[in-house]
Structure 1
């Protein structure tokens, strides 16, 4: 969650108060100058006021610019630190927190929701602080001229600064949840179309999905419009409050006109107009606070609760641990797979077969600790997976996802994701082992070649081999592979599957579980067939 630097935030509020304070003083000095000039005094009597008008006009712009710099710097620093903290906690927290979310929804939360919370500093905290300072200052100045006019101004400022924002916040809150849902659905449809465009085009579903994303966008826009309409009505309240305060000032001025200088009366009439400049931003500030609370709630759902040191149980695992499971697997809210019982000793090989959609991926993700079992448990060296720390679990098990991400960075960095201390020779050997030696030799900068667009820079088969190279580099003793030869031709696919399961590619000491619907009859390792229940 974004944490704002209080000193920087206070500086932004102070600069904002000085900027609008200059506007308030400019209104007062201008009123005095206009009225005094009407009396046709000597020019020298007006020189100080003329210089003050110029100085206040310049200082308003300078202080306003400095306030923008300070508030945006505070917001951007808070957003950057919040994202770093979110990534850290997600990386070290339970993997099922993100595994249950679509990448589009995850993108919305880590992207738009953090930005919404960071905007609270610029759009809410600073305007509220500035309005409070300016409201008190304006009321105090008017009170020195007319306590009655000051009382009217104070009431009107409260109406404009409290009632209008409350109405705006209530209207926004009623629609923002719906709008957020539409935005999340839109992002899910858009990301799905981007990530799987080729497959969807072949299946003839891409136009439908794009149309769905466009419809979600229109629904989102409509929801936002519905949220904005009542908030727009709430912005009329400050205008009414300004009118009431001016009328109150006129009535009070008439009452004291007999014993008050015309210049003072002019200040009394015009000063309230500038006093309301700060309250004009408060309905928007209330909407920003409301959206910030909703975004904060969504981020709290995403962030795992960090365990205290006393809650962590230190468990020692063998260098080559055994894996056992007695469970039923399935996605949250989806169909439940059949009962599976297995026990894999170090170095064991297992092939999981079954048609597409039978539950192979859900089973592998459950074995890897990415999904909780529907019932039953997974144990590693006799220890329940739920009792191990995330670091222990990831060190013991490596899950090869068929849709794992390739980053828009160098080939080297894409491989070092698996293990950061590997040398270039080791990276080259891994690429050669999976059949990418010639491809690497043909790259302009070798391992330093940037994959522009990530997965878009390589073919589907090259992407699969790059991900396999990560598996070879990863030190985890238990490897779970989901369709590792998808998009490879039949001959290469069978050759790699055989190498994975006979120990020649991953080594006989590592436990290997492969889920595939392309397993040839010449592969003789133990098999587990998943039926139609998953």
Structure 2
């Protein structure tokens, strides 16, 4: 993607308000302009005072020195307020944009990512993108204005000194940042990857601490997260080294510009006033203050561009108007699939499924063989490698995606439990349910006693989300969502995991029998490790054996 395309996409996500950005740049220019004016007036005052004039001749300069010294700090504070306000508003807008795209776009990209990766992208990457306003756009704008002003003022005194100053400003403000950004690009990509892997390991430890502790591998998972944190820090340090070298160039440029001003002053000494020479000597020292932030600004541009690329991979913008899609049938349809399924980086497996309305199917197999992937393919969340999934003879890809997921719904085993009321956690499945319907669903999945023991019933807040319930209660709560769902084809991933064996068999029987939990009209597909022998329904064994290419 071209840089202009990145800029357009960044503006589309952040949608910064131009007046606010210009106000921040203006305040920054006034702040550093005060520093530039302070240097010039101070040089004049020191030199003029050495000539022992009447005190009244110096009074205006003294007041100006105080004014510029105070206004510099005040204006810098105002510029920070304006810049951070703009950046925070832009970050909020960008997150809203990402959420909107995720809610209305294809689900295939999201479902392939671990929750830690999603947190990294929607959290850290959006922050890195919005930082471009604070650490790049505003500093670059301020530096450009101040550089032109400084060269213009020096040029009015000595064109030769102005030429040297301009060349040094180009070195400090263009060449050094370019070297810094170019050298940091590769290391930043590595650092970003380590950052994502660290978040993934941390989220794994947080979300599955109990299971990992029982399995005896929690310390290893925590150690992996710590190792990723160290790798992340090392990668950031490596990225900072070339930036540090580039930041040394502005210091050298300051020295050269001062020497140029000294040489110009020596040649002009017989023809100009001493106060003018003093101004010529001191101005270059303040002129470079605006360029010191530019190497870091270029590094931030690199970081923000990488963050933007990751966000666009997660939630790409719609490049064309959506074509008209069909609405799924009102009644339960026949779901048929003859597909090779899997992820792009794995060899595909093959499966054939034919589910008439009201059918029951158990997808069995060991952990990691592809049961979840098959269910997500049947739900239209993952595209098949080859073949197609059809509903009443129409490919799932031809249906409106939002409407399709109300008809064919996949319920993940690790679906999120929100830190809100029990009622709200159930209403995510269907928002128009009455309290009686919610209570009936909870009783149907075996949570009636649990509900009656809650202090506020359905209004009880589950503080900490999933941490407020046991693993078994969480599965039953997720199952209650599926019961309440309006979907006519329900795909359940490991709904009885973490339940006692006897309870798991009872729940599984109730799910797979007709009418059972889901009635006789809904089609139900369940992924489970093992099907009890006394449950009689169609079974599809997934073995993990890949299909022939």
Report TM bin, short chain: over 0.9
Equivalence for 2:515: 503
Distance 1:169-1:304 versus aligned 2 partners, 3 A rule? closer
Q: Is the aligned partner of 1:428 residue 2:428?
A: no
Equivalence for 2:47: 35
C-alpha separation in 2, matches of 1:245 and 1:358? 68
**Partner of 2:266: helix, strand, or coil?**
helix
C-alpha separation in 2, matches of 1:332 and 1:201? 32
**Partner of 2:446: helix, strand, or coil?**
coil
TM-score (norm. length: structure 1): 0.96
C-alpha separation in 2, matches of 1:412 and 1:182? 39
Equivalence for 2:118: 106
Pick which of 430-439 and 328-337 moved more: 328-337
Equivalence for 2:301: 289
Pick which of 20-29 and 347-356 moved more: 347-356
**Partner of 1:176: helix, strand, or coil?**
helix
Which of 192, 196, 213 is the matching residue for 2:225? Answer: 213
Equivalence for 2:27: 15
C-alpha separation in 1, matches of 2:446 and 2:39? 76
Equivalence for 1:145: 157
Q: 8 Å contact 1:97–1:304 — kept in the other structure?
A: no
Q: 8 Å contact 1:359–1:533 — kept in the other structure?
A: no
Q: Is the aligned partner of 1:348 residue 2:392?
A: no
C-alpha separation in 2, matches of 1:391 and 1:196? 30
Q: In the TM superposition, what whole-angstrom CA distance separates every residue of 1:102-134 from its partner, at most 9, and x where no partner exists?
A: 222222111111111100000000000000000
Pick which of 167-176 and 123-132 moved more: 167-176
Distance 1:430-1:287 versus aligned 2 partners, 3 A rule? same
C-alpha separation in 2, matches of 1:147 and 1:307? 52
Q: 8 Å contact 1:89–1:304 — kept in the other structure?
A: yes
User: What aligned pairs does 1:460-479 form with structure 2 within 5 A after superposition?
Assistant: 460-479=471-490
Q: Is the aligned partner of 1:414 residue 2:425?
A: yes
User: What aligned pairs does 1:38-49 form with structure 2 within 5 A after superposition?
Assistant: 38-49=50-61
C-alpha separation in 2, matches of 1:310 and 1:202? 48
Shift of 1:221: 1.2
User: What aligned pairs does 1:362-441 form with structure 2 within 5 A after superposition?
Assistant: 362-441=373-452
**Partner of 2:253: helix, strand, or coil?**
helix
Shift of 1:316: 4.8
Q: In the TM superposition, what whole-angstrom CA distance separates every residue of 1:15-72 from its partner, at most 9, and x where no partner exists?
A: 1101111111111111111111112222221111111111112211121111111111
Distance 1:182-1:64 versus aligned 2 partners, 3 A rule? same
Q: Is the aligned partner of 1:88 residue 2:93?
A: no
Q: Is the aligned partner of 1:235 residue 2:252?
A: no
Q: 8 Å contact 1:335–1:533 — kept in the other structure?
A: no
**Partner of 1:276: helix, strand, or coil?**
helix
Distance 1:204-1:257 versus aligned 2 partners, 3 A rule? same
Distance 1:154-1:203 versus aligned 2 partners, 3 A rule? same
Distance 1:115-1:487 versus aligned 2 partners, 3 A rule? same
Q: Is the aligned partner of 1:115 residue 2:127?
A: yes
**Partner of 2:264: helix, strand, or coil?**
helix
Equivalence for 2:237: 225
Shift of 1:422: 2.1
C-alpha separation in 2, matches of 1:25 and 1:254? 23
Shift of 1:353: 2.2
Q: 8 Å contact 2:29–2:146 — kept in the other structure?
A: yes
Equivalence for 1:332: 344
Which of 499, 506, 512 is the matching residue for 2:524? Answer: 512
Equivalence for 1:161: 173
**Partner of 1:170: helix, strand, or coil?**
helix
**Partner of 1:280: helix, strand, or coil?**
coil
**Partner of 2:419: helix, strand, or coil?**
coil
Shift of 1:492: 2.2
Q: 8 Å contact 1:94–1:304 — kept in the other structure?
A: no
Give the total of aligned pairs: 533
TM-score (norm. length: structure 2): 0.94
RMSD value, Cα: 1.6
C-alpha separation in 2, matches of 1:103 and 1:304? 18
Q: 8 Å contact 1:321–1:381 — kept in the other structure?
A: yes
Distance 1:154-1:357 versus aligned 2 partners, 3 A rule? closer
Distance 1:449-1:323 versus aligned 2 partners, 3 A rule? same
Q: Is the aligned partner of 1:5 residue 2:20?
A: no
Q: 8 Å contact 1:2–1:114 — kept in the other structure?
A: no
Shift of 1:305: 4.2
Q: In the TM superposition, what whole-angstrom CA distance separates every residue of 1:507-526 from its partner, at most 9, and x where no partner exists?
A: 21111111222422222222
C-alpha separation in 2, matches of 1:192 and 1:409? 22
Equivalence for 1:253: 265
Q: 8 Å contact 2:136–2:298 — kept in the other structure?
A: yes
Shift of 1:329: 2.0
Shift of 1:145: 1.1
Shift of 1:357: 3.0
Q: Is the aligned partner of 1:360 residue 2:360?
A: no
**Partner of 2:491: helix, strand, or coil?**
strand
C-alpha separation in 2, matches of 1:248 and 1:495? 89
Which of 192, 200, 223 is the matching residue for 1:188? Answer: 200
Structure 1 alignment gaps of length 5 or more: none
**Partner of 1:512: helix, strand, or coil?**
strand
C-alpha separation in 2, matches of 1:20 and 1:29? 14
Equivalence for 1:314: 326
Distance 1:469-1:129 versus aligned 2 partners, 3 A rule? same
